[in-house]
Structure formats: C-alpha cells, structure tokens
Amino acid sequence: MVNYHLIFCHPVAKSLNSYLKDIYLQNLPQESDNIQITDLYHDNYNPISPNQEYLTSELTKVRNSDVLIFQFPIYFSGFPAALHDWIIRVLLDQNPSIISGKKVLISITLGGTKALYSENGGRGSLDSSLMPLFSHIFTKNNSILLQPFVLFLEDYTNPQVLENKISLLKSKIQSFSLWPSKTSLLESNSN
C-alpha cells in the first residue's frame, strides 16, 4: 500500500487549486487511511508562530508517507509564503532526511502564460523560479521528483483545454505508479 500526503495551500475554497486538490483526493487509490491531507489555510497555519503540536503532527504525516503531493498557485514567480514556511519548519528544521527516497509531485497553477514563464519570457523560466524548491530542498535531500503537473493561464481559460488537462490528470493519478520522474523543462512539459 502506498501512503500519500497532499499538502494544499490556497486561501479560497472554490478555487481552481481547490478543484485540483479534490481531483487528487477522488482519484488516488484509497485503501483505508493511506491519504493524509494538510490544508494550510483551513488549518489556520500561522507562519509567524506555528503551534509545536501541529508541526509534530505534520512531521508524522510526512514520515508515514511514500508520496508527497504539493498543490499550490505560483504568485509572482514564487510559491506562497505559508507553504514556504511549512517546508522550512516541517521538512528542513525538523529532520531533512525524512524526505529521502520519497516521491514528490509538484502540482501548480499560474496566472501567466507559458510564454511568460519561458526562458525569454517576462518572468523567466518556471524551472528557475522553482529551482530552490527542486534543488535545495528535494533533490539535495534525495527525494524523487516526479514530472510536475502545471496549468498555465491558457490551459484553464479555455474550457476544452482545461477539460483535456483534467482528464489527463485523472488518468495519471489512477495509474500513479507510472507517473514519470522529472526529466524535461517545465516550459516544454505538455502534461
């Protein structure tokens, strides 16, 4: 049995990110209690003064998981501050080796186009934006990065494209063990 831990960070309950979170929860193989969720806004996570019991509970969720799924939006070329703080306090400050050997899936939405997040785009490459997360946290600590799931602006403003992307996501989730490792640049990733 594979144990999943979905870490979700978005303040709006009826957002695209929340919809994607629900897609994961509805389509991951469910075997008793093998899916744990962290919802940083729903949990009222306080990055200034987090509750130690909460951090201990989160550490236990990470320790007991085989796969970590992070669902969040990219804000101005970076990830949300609450998620940033959670990663530091739970994954790095406690025991960075806890994520060694775990599969990590980054699932993100962007308010910009694929061209904007390209090497020559106004925001620079998405790989560059996420490099601290990929290299300094997950790769450095021997996690297995899976090919990220990315929705750019043009993916979700066109209903047919969004429907196709969601259908593809559902099929990838349902055969999660076949999800490919991260090998290509995100800009060329067609999901």
d(CA 180, CA 141): 19
Please tell me the CATH superfamily of domain 4-186, with its number: Flavodoxin domain (3.40.50.360)
- Percent of the chain's residues with pLDDT above 70: 95
Note the pLDDT tens digit of each residue in 90-142.
998 878 889 999 999 999 999 888 888 888 888 878 888 888 888 878 888 89
Domain residue ranges of the chain, discontinuous segments joined by +: 4-186
pLDDT higher than 50, residue 41: yes
Q: What is the mean pLDDT of residues 42-52?
A: 91
Calculate the alpha carbon distances from 84 to 80, 87, 88, 130, 187 in Å: 6, 5, 6, 12, 23
Helix axes 16-27, 159-174, angle to 10 degrees: 30
- Mean pLDDT, the chain, rounded, equals 89
Note the pLDDT tens digit of each residue in 167-179.
999 999 988 888 9
Q: What is the pTM of this model?
A: 0.92
